[in-house]
Amino acid sequence: MRVLVTGAGGQVGTDTVMVCEAAGDHVAALDHASLDIGRRDQVLSAITSFRPDAVINCAAWTAVDACEADPDRALALNGLAVRNVAEACHRVGAHLVHLSTDYVFDGTLDRPYHEWDETNPMSVYGISKLIGESEALALGPDSAVVRTSWVSGAHGANMVKTVIALIDQHPQLAFVADQFGHPTFAADLAPMLRLVALDRRSGVHHITNQRPTSWFGFVQEVVAVLGRDPAMVVPIATADLQPPRPALRPPNSMLDNAVARMNGLPPMRDFAEPLAELVRRLTA
C-alpha cells in the first residue's frame, strides 16, 4: 500500500509511520515542516504527486487549552484543513483515515459512548475536531473517522511522560478522579489505523485500548509500574484544579468500540500491557 501520513512527527504519526514501514508499505511521512495541512496548495501538491492509496491524517492542533484563546486558528487547522486533505484524496482516489477525539462528546452520558451517540463538544478544540470529522466524512465511503482518547506513546508529550518527570520531585501527586476514559497507546492504535486504511473502511470508528479508568486511577497504575507506591497519588475533583483549565473536559470520555466489535475486529489490549511496555522503553 502507498500511504501518506500527515503530522508524521507527532505522537500518533510517528508510530503510524513506523508500523506502515514495518508492514512493507511505501510511506510518505510528512511532518509539519514538510506539509502544512492548512495550506491547500501544499496539500494538493503533496497528495497528487505521491498518489497514495491511503492518507492517514495525524496532523492537528492538539493544544486543547490554547485552542480556547484562538478559535479561528483551531477551526482552520482542525476543521477547514481537513477539507484540503479530503479534496486532495478525492482527486487521486485515496482513502482518508482521519483522527478525532472523545472531546466531541459532552461527557454527560451514563455509559460509554458508541459511534452513533449524539455529539456535543464543550470546548473550542472539541468543536474544531467535530468540524474536521464532517469535512472528512463529506468524502463519503472513501473516508473513515477514528475517534480515540487519552493517547500516550514514545514520541511527544503525554501523561506517562508527565508522571515519569514528576515522580522524583514530589512526595505526592494529585490527579482528577472525576474524569473517566480509555487510556490508549499509540503503538497499539497505529496498526488499527493501518488496518482501517488497508480495508478502506468507512464512517466513524471508536478505537481505544480496553478498560476505563479515571486520570487518578491511570496515574496510580503508572506509578505502580514505575515500582513506587500508588498511595502517593491522591484524588482531587476537576473543580479543585488550580488554576482551572481554560477548556472544559468531558467527565465521561469512555468510547465504546462498538463498530469494531460489530465488524468482528479484534479488540485492542487492556491498557496495562502497552503501559508496561512504554514505561520499560522510556526508563531503559
Q: What's the CA gap between 153 and 197, in Å, rounded?
A: 21
Min. distance of Cβ 231 from ligand NAP in angstroms? 26
The answer to whether 247 touches 124, Cβ cutoff 8 Å, is yes
- Which amino acids are annotated catalytic? 125
Element (H, E) at 30: strand 26-30
Looking at the Cβ atoms of 101 and 209, the one nearer to ligand NAP is 101
Min. distance of Cβ 225 from ligand NAP in angstroms? 19
- Find residue 28's DSSP bridge partners: 4
Looking at the Cβ atoms of 10 and 52, the one nearer to ligand NAP is 10
Phi, psi torsion values for 144, nearest 5 degrees: -130, 145
Binders of ligand NAP among 49-108, rule CB under 6 A?
58-62, 77, 81, 99, 101
- Contact track, ligand NAP, 6-45, x by CB under 6 A: xx-xxxxx------------------x--xxxx-------
Q: What's the CA gap between 155 and 150, in Å, rounded?
A: 14
Q: What's the CA gap between 252 and 178, in Å, rounded?
A: 8
Min. distance of Cβ 3 from ligand NAP in angstroms? 16
Is residue 174 exposed (0-12), middle (13-18) or buried (19+ Cβ within 10 Å)? middle
Residue 21 in 3-state DSSP? helix
Min. distance of Cβ 40 from ligand NAP in angstroms? 12
Residue nearest to ligand NAP according to CB distances in the complex:
10
Using the rule CB under 6 A, is 137 a contact of ligand NAP?
A: no
Residues at the contact surface with ligand NAP, assessed by CB under 6 A: 6-7, 9-13, 32, 35-38, 58-62, 77, 81, 99, 101, 129, 148-151, 156
